[in-house]
Amino acid sequence: MERQNRVYWLTGLSGAGKTTIGRLWRDELRKNGQTVVFLDGDEMRSVFGVGLGFNGADRRRLAESYGRLCALLAGQGVTVVCCTISMFHSVRAWNRANIPGYYEVYIEASMDTLRRRDQKGLYSQNADNVAGVGLQVELPDAPDLVLDNNGDKTPEQQVERLRAAALGLEG
């Protein structure tokens, strides 16, 4: 399907659909014989975030660690699907400059959609440490692909859009 060291960086606010789309994409890549590591921001926080909070500085520190981990894995010939809020231009710029095969996917969803989904109960509060509510998010300037995920398409249809775009990378 494509080369083995691509990093798919799926970014968007909490509840946008990063993890759902990312897991489906991982499964698709594996069906095509690729060695794939799936990294989710919530799971990585439990590994790298011990002692860190949800303020801007701690979030930046974690996002920088995620990028370095992706670079390490990709350098060893592994395809990486990384799902993270990644709310900083500087993090995404570092990724683009330092990760060969970096492919950024912005999963966009309106605040109304996010509040309706609100699986974690984040948007029902006015917490200062919620990205997009109390914490300003620097939205991606030039993602490789934008997926509008306000409910008009199923997660499977979103993965099909990603697949079509990813196939164009190698053509």
Give me the residues paired with residue 79 across strands.
36
Give the per-residue pLDDT at 169: 62
Please provide residue 61's backbone torsions phi and psi, each rounded to the nearest 5 degrees. -60, -45
Stretch 51-60: mean pLDDT: 78
Q: Are 25 and 11 in contact (CB under 8 A)?
A: no
Stretch 40-65: mean pLDDT: 82
1-47 pLDDT, tens digit each = 344 579 999 999 888 899 999 999 999 999 999 999 999 988 888 88
| Fold (topology level) of 7-170 | Rossmann fold (3.40.50)
Catalytic site positions: 86
Residue spans per domain, the chain: 7-170
The CA distances from residue 97 to 62, 70, 78, 154, in Å, are 18, 13, 18, 32
Q: Are 92 and 104 in contact (CB under 8 A)?
A: yes
For 153, other C-beta atoms within 10 Å of its C-beta total: 15
Read off the DSSP letter of residue 135.
B
Q: What is the pTM of this model?
A: 0.85
87-131 pLDDT, tens digit each = 889 899 999 999 989 999 999 888 777 767 556 555 556 565 555
